[in-house]
Amino acid sequence: MRGRRRERLVIEGAPDNEGLTILGEVGLGFPPPRTSYARAAYANTEPGAQKAAWLRIRPDGSITAYAGKVEYGQGIRSGLAVEVADELRVPLDAVDVVLGDTATTPWDMGTFGSQSTARVGLQLRKAAATARHTLLDLAADRLDLPASELSCRDGRVAADSDHGVSYAELLSGLTLEQDLVDDIELTRQSDFTVMGTDAPRIDAIGRVTGKAKYSQDVITDGMLHAKVLRRPSVDARLGDVDFAAAEHMPGVLRIVRDNHLIAVLAETDEQAERALQVIGTQWDEQEDRSTQLDLPVLLKESGADPFVVQERGSLEEGFREADAQLEATYFIPYVSNAPMEPRAAVAIWDDDHLTVWAGTQRPFGLRAELAGRFEIDEENVRVIAPEIGGGFGSKSLYQVAHEAARLAKVADRPVRVAYTRQEEMQWGTVRPAALIEVRSGFRSDGTLTAWEFNAYHATNERPFIGRRGSDTPYDVPHVNVTTYSSQSPLRVGSYRSLGGAVNHFARETHMDEIAHAVGIDPVELRLRNLSEPRFRRVLETAAQSFGWTSQKTPSARGVGVAIGLDVGSYIATCLELELQGREVRVKRVTASLDCGLTVNPEGARNQTEGGIVMGLGTALYEAIDFQAGAVLNSSFARYRVPRINNAPQIETLLVGDAATPSTGAGEPGIVPVAAAVSNALFDLGGERYRELPIQRYLR
C-alpha cells in the first residue's frame, strides 16, 4: 500500500504474570465433530497446552483479556471487552483485549463460523466473573467483612461509598493464579450496564486515524521486499526462465529460486516489482479453455459424492398428494471475497525461531503449518495477526506467510511478501459456483407436500461448503435434499456463510414462485408452512416494521421477502427496489435478526448491515470472469462491488430472547438478500431471475 506511513514494530514477549491471572481450558469444545466443516478444512492444529491465561488484572489495576481470535472488521475486540467490563464492573475503556498472537493468547482453531461471541465471549465472561469473586474474597479479608456484604463497582470493592478498596490496591505485590469456574453464576440481564447497550467500538479511533496496524503496514529493521513470480493461470507450468536483466536492476539484492518458488529480493517494493517485470519467462498453459459460460454444464456433469443433507417421508408419495408441481434451476457464479486489504506477511528468523506477522484468520493453524514445513517445534514459531482489513473466510489460507518464511531463511534477513490487488483476486480463493435444481409439490392453498433439492457446488475437496444452508426449514412432510461436489477450474474456499447464501437464493426464490403459482402473498405462503416460533417471529416482525401489505405477485410495488438461518441465528429480510433505466436501485431494507442474547446491539446491527450490502453485491453485480484458469476481472475497475451510492436505507431489528445463548451475527445478514432482490424484481415487472448477478441479465 503505497503512500501509507509504516511504523517499525517491536516484538514483545509473553505477558508477565503479576497480579491476578485467570486460567481456563482451551479448545472450548474443539476439536470439532468429525463431520464438521471446521474439522475437514482446518483441523491441522491442536492445543499444545490444556490451560491458558484468559484474563489478567495487574497490580496497577489494568485489565487485559486474551483470545486467539482475530479482528478483521467484525468488531469482536469491542464485543469481548463489553462482556469482560460488565462482569468485572468496570468501564469499557478499562479493558484491553489482546487477539491472535500464538505466544500470548489461548489456542484457537480460527476465526470463522461466527463463533467468537458464542464460544470465546462466554468463556471470557466466566473468566471475568471468576476474577470478580476472587476480588470479593480478597477484599473481605482486607476489610474484615463478609464477601456477601461487598460489591464491585468502577474497579473497586466496597460495602458503601466510604468503605472500600480498589482492584489495584488488592493486588499490589501479589501474584495469583485462579482456575476459571465453569459453572460460575454470570451477571443477570437486569444487572447489565454495558452489555445490551450501544457501546462504542474501543478500536474505532485507531481505525479512522490510521493508528491501527495491518499486515500491509509491518516493517522491521533490515527488511527486504519480495516479489514472487506468479503463474499466469492456475495450472500453468514454467518452461524457460531468464534472470539476466532482472539481476542487474537497481536495488535488487538477489533472485531466489527455491524449487517452484521464484522471487526477487530488493530494498523496496517498487524495485522488486520492476525487476520482476523484466524476468524472461515461457509458460506452458493448460489446453482446457473453459470460461464462466461453461460452468452450468460442468457443474452438472462433474457432480460427484452425493450427500443426503435432509430426508423424510417419500417424495413419490408427496408428489402424488400435490395439486401442482413446480421445477426450476438456479445458477450462481463464482464470486471473489474481495477483502479491502490484500494479503501480506513479514517473516524473521532468529536461529531456529521464526516470527511471522500475517493477517490470517488462523494464527495457530498457520503456526502448525510453518512448524511442519521447516521441521521445528511449534513452540519455536510465533504468528502475530495484526489488524486485518477484511477476510470473509478467504484469509484462512495464507500462502504469502509460507513464502515470506522460506525467503527469509534463504536471505538470512527479514522478508516481506505482499499481494497486489490483482494477485489477491487471482490467487485468493473464491466462493464456489453452484447449479441448483428444485422440484416442489404443493396443494392449491400453498401447503407444501414435497420438496426435492439437488445442489451442485464447485467445491472440489471441500464438500461441506455446499451443504450449509441447503436444508429446508418449511413444514413439508416429504423431503430430499442432496448436495454434490463438482469440479472447479478455480481455487475455492470459505466465504461469508459458506454455501448458505447460495442455497438460500434457490430455496427462497422458489418459495416465491410457489406463492405466485397459487396466487398467495409471499409472506402468507411462508407463514402457512412455518411452525418454528423463532422463524415466525423474525418474519412477522420484519413484515410489520417494513409495512408489508398482503398482495399477489407481481404487484408492481417492487417488494421482496426472504428468510434465512445461519450459525444458529434466524433472520427475515424485506426490501423495496426500483429500476432507474436498466440499473437496479434498492431503496430500503428491513431485517429482523434473532441471534439470542445480544451482547453488543450496535455491533450486531453493523454486522447485519454489512452482510446486507455484501449480499446486494453478489445478487446484482459480482461474478468472476475467467478463461483457462486465469481471472479476467482482477481489479475493482472491472470487478464491481457495491459503492456508497448503492447502499440503501437499512433498518435492523434485534428480536432475540436474552434467555437464549448468543449465536452469530456476522453471517446471517447475507443469506436472504439475493432471493429478496430477485423476488422484488419479479414483483416489480413480472420477470423471474434465476441466475446471478441479476444486473447482467436485465433487458
Task: Using alpha carbons, select from 437, 152, 482, 70 the residue that is nearest to residue 304.
Answer: 482
The 3 state secondary structure assigned to 376-403 is CCHHHEEEECCECCCCCCHHHCCHHHHH
> What residue numbers bound the domain in which 521 lies?
292-335+429-697
Packing angle between helix 363-374 and helix 399-411, nearest 10 degrees? 40
Out of 418, 447, 482, a domain closes at 418
> What pLDDT, in 10s, does the model give residues 529-583?
999 999 999 999 999 999 999 999 999 999 999 999 999 999 999 999 999 999 9
224: helix, strand or coil? strand
Rounded to whole angstroms, the Cα distance separating 207 from 201 reads 10
- What's residue 29's pLDDT? 47
Q: How far from chain centre, in Å, is Cα 351? A: 35
572 strand-pairing partners: 563, 592
Computed on alpha carbons and rounded to an integer, the radius of gyration of the chain in Å comes to 27
**Average pLDDT value for residue range 599-609:** 94
Query: Do 196 and 267 reside in the same domain of the chain?
Result: no
Rounded to whole angstroms, the Cα distance separating 571 from 589 reads 13
Upstream peptide bond of 693 is cis (omega within 30 degrees of 0): yes
Task: Quote the mean pLDDT of the chain.
Answer: 93
Q: Is residue 424 part of a domain?
A: no
Q: Is residue 53 part of a domain?
A: yes
- Residue 645 CB-density burial (10 A; 0-12 exposed, 13-18 middle, 19+ buried): exposed
Query: Do 502 and 581 reside in the same domain of the chain?
Result: yes
Packing angle between helix 673-685 and helix 601-620, nearest 10 degrees? 60
**Average pLDDT value for residue range 181-186:** 96
Rounded to whole angstroms, the Cα distance separating 324 from 432 reads 33
Query: Do 490 and 580 reside in the same domain of the chain?
Result: yes
Query: Do 508 and 616 reside in the same domain of the chain?
Result: yes
Q: Quick count: other Cβ atoms within 10 Å of Cβ 510?
A: 23
- Give the CATH number, domain containing residue 384: 3.30.365.10
- What's residue 31's pLDDT? 46
Q: Which of the four pLDDT bands, split at 50, 70 and 90, describes residue 9? A: very low
Cell of 536: 415466525
- What's residue 14's pLDDT? 47
Long-range contacts of 257-260 (CB under 8 A, 24+ apart): 258/406, 258/407, 258/410
Q: Is residue 11 part of a domain?
A: no
522 pLDDT more than 70: yes
- Grid-cell match 474474597, residue found: 137
Rounded to whole angstroms, the Cα distance separating 390 from 338 reads 8
Which residues fall within 8 angstroms of residue 296, CB to CB, at 6 or more apart? 331, 435
DSSP secondary structure string, 422-461? HHHHHHS-EEPPEEEEEEEEE-TTS-EEEEEEEEEE--TT
Rounded to whole angstroms, the Cα distance separating 215 from 9 reads 11
Going from the C-alpha of 590 to that of each of 54, 130, 572, the distances in angstroms are 38, 40, 8
> What pLDDT, in 10s, does the model give residues 13-71?
445 789 999 999 987 544 455 555 666 666 567 787 789 999 999 999 999 999 999 99
Q: ∠ at Cα 178 (175, 179), nearest 5°?
A: 155
206 pLDDT more than 70: yes
Query: Do 515 and 597 reside in the same domain of the chain?
Result: yes
Task: Using alpha carbons, select from 450, 610, 473, 600 the residue that is nearest to residue 534.
Answer: 473
649 strand-pairing partners: 588
Query: Do 572 and 667 reside in the same domain of the chain?
Result: yes
474: helix, strand or coil? coil
Q: Which of the four pLDDT bands, split at 50, 70 and 90, describes residue 242? A: very high
Q: Is residue 7 part of a domain?
A: no
- What's residue 5's pLDDT? 37
- What's residue 162's pLDDT? 74
Evaluated on CA atoms 27, 31, 32, 33, the torsion sign reads negative
Q: Which of the four pLDDT bands, split at 50, 70 and 90, describes residue 8? A: very low
Q: Is residue 1 part of a domain?
A: no
Which residues fall within 8 angstroms of residue 604, CB to CB, at 6 or more apart? 593, 595, 598, 652, 654, 665
The 3 state secondary structure assigned to 573-598 is EEEEEEEECCEEEEEEEEEEEECCCC
Out of 209, 231, 260, a domain closes at 209
Q: What percent of the chain has pLDDT over 90?
A: 86
Upstream peptide bond of 473 is cis (omega within 30 degrees of 0): no
Query: Do 482 and 502 reside in the same domain of the chain?
Result: yes
Q: What percent of the chain has pLDDT over 70?
A: 95
Is the CB of residue 178 less than 8 Å from the CB of residue 23? Answer: yes
Q: Is residue 14 part of a domain?
A: no
> What pLDDT, in 10s, does the model give residues 415-443?
999 999 999 999 999 999 999 999 999 99
4 pLDDT more than 50: no
Q: Is residue 6 part of a domain?
A: no
- What's residue 7's pLDDT? 41
- What's residue 28's pLDDT? 58
Which residues fall within 8 angstroms of residue 152, CB to CB, at 6 or more apart? 88, 89, 132, 135, 136
Query: Do 319 and 347 reside in the same domain of the chain?
Result: no
Query: Do 364 and 222 reside in the same domain of the chain?
Result: yes
- Residue 289 CB-density burial (10 A; 0-12 exposed, 13-18 middle, 19+ buried): exposed
Comparing 2 with 524, the larger pLDDT belongs to 524
Q: Are strands 95-99 and 63-67 parallel, antiparallel or unpaired?
A: parallel
484 pLDDT more than 80: yes
**Average pLDDT value for residue range 443-463:** 96
- What's residue 234's pLDDT? 86
Q: ∠ at Cα 85 (68, 51), nearest 5°?
A: 35
Q: Is residue 5 part of a domain?
A: no
643 pLDDT more than 80: yes
Out of 418, 453, 480, a domain closes at 418
- What's residue 360's pLDDT? 96
- What's residue 44's pLDDT? 65
Query: Do 279 and 138 reside in the same domain of the chain?
Result: no
Which residues fall within 8 angstroms of residue 520, CB to CB, at 6 or more apart? 445, 446, 528, 552
Which residues fall within 8 angstroms of residue 670, CB to CB, at 6 or more apart? 496, 497, 500, 501, 611, 612, 614, 615, 618
pTM (two decimals) = 0.92
DSSP secondary structure string, 227-248? EE---SSTT-EEEEEE-HHHHT
Least confident window among 234-238, 387-391, 499-503, 606-610: 234-238
> What pLDDT, in 10s, does the model give residues 325-374?
999 999 999 999 999 999 999 999 999 999 999 999 999 999 999 999 99
6 pLDDT more than 50: no
> What pLDDT, in 10s, does the model give residues 270-323?
999 999 999 999 999 877 778 999 999 999 999 999 999 999 999 999 999 999
Query: Do 515 and 660 reside in the same domain of the chain?
Result: yes
Q: How many domains does the chain have?
A: 3
Q: How far from chain centre, in Å, is Cα 466? A: 16
Which residues fall within 8 angstroms of residue 488, CB to CB, at 6 or more apart? 432, 433, 458, 459, 460
> What pLDDT, in 10s, does the model give residues 105-164?
999 988 887 778 878 999 999 999 999 999 999 999 999 999 999 999 999 999 976 789
Query: Do 314 and 437 reside in the same domain of the chain?
Result: yes
DSSP secondary structure string, 103-172? TTS---S-S-TT-IIIIIIHHHHHHHHHHHHHHHHHHHHHHTS-GGG-EEETTEEEEETTEEEEHHHHHT
